[in-house]
Every structure is written in C-alpha cells, then in structure tokens.
Amino acid sequence: MSKGYTKQEVKAWKDWSDSRTGQKTCVPVVEATEEQRETLHQKAIGKHMETKTQYEVMLRYQDTTELILDVRKDIVDLNEEPINEEYVEGFVYDHWSLEQNYIDALKEYEKLLVKYRELAEKEDNSSVNAWDEVEHDALRLLNLKKANYYRSNQ
C-alpha cells in the first residue's frame, strides 16, 4: 500500500537530498494503485466525478409465499444518478409458509443490516438503505383498515 506524502514531508526529503548532493532533485515517485492512477488521470483531464456508495438491503416478495433477500452495491454520483450497480449477495426463502419464510428472512436481514452498516462506516461517502416490502405492505394494509374503520364508525 502506498503512502501519500504531505508538502512538509516532500520538502524535508528534498532539503535532505539537496544537502547530500548540493543540487536540486525532483520529488520521489510514489507508488499508487490502479484506482488512484485512474482517479488522478480523470482529475487531470477534467472528467473526475465525485461519487458515493449506497448499499441496498432489500427483503421482498418473490410470489405469495416466497421471499427474496438481496444486497446490492450502487455507486452513484452526487445527484443520486447510478454509475455502477452490482449484485452482492442474496437468499431465497421458499418454505410453504409465508410466515416461516418471513421469520427466517428477518434473522438474516438483521445480520446483513449490521454487516453493511459497519462496512459503510469504514468507507468514505457510504450509506445503507433498507427496504422490507413485507413490513411495508402490512403497515399499508393496517392503515387502510384503520382509515376505513374510523370512516364507517362516524
């Protein structure tokens, strides 16, 4: 892994080098990763774009009883426009009972949320978005029931 040098470190190195040779030298070459070289190149030609990483943890229906748990990693620009979308991992819950599938899926869903939130904390410009379609639908239906119940009892 290469180290970025501060101006003070470069100046100290040059001063030391100049004192040893009595002549001016150029700045030492610093090793960079391919990604760092590409970023520097893009900045140099004015095409570098600031991005952020979004992890999407989604629990959703496959059909009436089957559930899918997916994790996706999206690289987006600062306007939330996708640049790269990548499937990371996923699980299928296909027991005959929706209730059993939901119980099993929730256990893994919670583990994945912890895992990707910890990962996002370690990375710059990263976040985790969670979506539980089963919970969303259940709440939507309960709200409809409440709204219709109160309306009919007035």
Residue 106 lies in a domain: yes
Give the model's pLDDT for residue 1: 39
Q: Residue 125: which domain range?
A: 51-152
Gap between the Cα atoms of 56 and 76, Å rounded = 12
Residue 2 lies in a domain: no
Give the model's pLDDT for residue 4: 63
112, 60: one domain? yes
Q: What is the DSSP string of 96-118?
A: S-HHHHHHHHHHHHHHHHHHHHH
Q: How far apart are the first and last CA of the chain?
A: 70
Apex 92 CA angle, 98 and 100, nearest 5: 25
pLDDT digits (tens, 9 = 90+) for 113-141: 999 999 999 998 999 999 999 999 999 99
123, 57: one domain? yes
12, 82: one domain? no
51-61 vs 126-132, strand pairing mode: parallel
72, 142: one domain? yes
pLDDT digits (tens, 9 = 90+) for 4-49: 667 777 777 777 767 666 555 555 666 777 777 777 777 777 666 7
Question: Domain total for the chain?
Answer: 2
List the structure tokens of 116: 């990707």
Residue 94's H or E segment, with its range, is none
Is it the case that residue 151 has pLDDT exceeding 80?
A: no
pTM value is 0.65
71, 36: one domain? no
